[in-house]
Amino acid sequence: MMSIKEIHEEVKKCMYCGFCEFPCPTFNALRSRAYGPRGRINLIKALIENGFGQGKDVGLNSDVINPIMTCLHCAACDTQCPAGIRIADVIHGFKAIILETILK
Ligand code: SF4
Ligand code: SF4
């Protein structure tokens, strides 16, 4: 499983170009940035930089959980990312950390 530190190193590489959004099935179905890879990666980045996973209660709610948990881990986005971010694995790893936090 990826650590918070490893996930942060990956999401910090995002240039916000949006190339990853075009092949994403959930983005195309819902037409909402939060439900695409760029939105998910930057949501994860914001959560970590606000202290999530480092002892701070950043208030997990459906606005945070739903976009991340609905990723299908299909990795269609990975092939498009010029920064080489392992997008699907990052989101998958962060799902596990959310579940660990909720089930504690
Ligand atoms: S892995 Fe997740 S974010 Fe990437 S294309 Fe598939 S559903 Fe979208
Ligand atoms: S393709 Fe990569 S760098 Fe561009 S927005 Fe998506 S995750 Fe960020």
d(CA 76, CA 87): 9
Determine the average pLDDT of the residues in 5-27.
98
pLDDT at 87 over 90: yes
The letter for the amino acid at 67 is: P
Find out whether the beta carbon of 96 lies less than 6 Å from any atom of ligand 2.
Answer: no
Q: Which residues contact 62 (CB under 8 A, 6 or more apart)?
A: none
DSSP-derived secondary structure letter, 71 = -
pLDDT on residue 20:
98
Find out whether the beta carbon of 8 lies less than 6 Å from any atom of ligand 2.
Answer: no
Find out whether the beta carbon of 42 lies less than 6 Å from any atom of ligand 2.
Answer: no
Find out whether the beta carbon of 75 lies less than 6 Å from any atom of ligand 1.
Answer: yes
Chain-centre distance of CA 57, in angstroms?
A: 18
* Percent of the chain surpassing pLDDT 70: 100
Q: How far is the CA of 103 from the centre of ligand 1 (A)?
A: 25
pLDDT at 104 over 80: no
pLDDT on residue 53:
79
d(CA 9, CA 26): 25
Three-state SS sequence of 20-40? HHCCCHHHHHHCCHHHCHHHH
Q: Pick the residue whose CA is nearest to atom 4 on ligand 2.
A: 17
Query: Domain 4-103 adopts which CATH fold?
Result: Fumarate Reductase Iron-sulfur Protein; Chain B, domain 2 (1.10.1060)
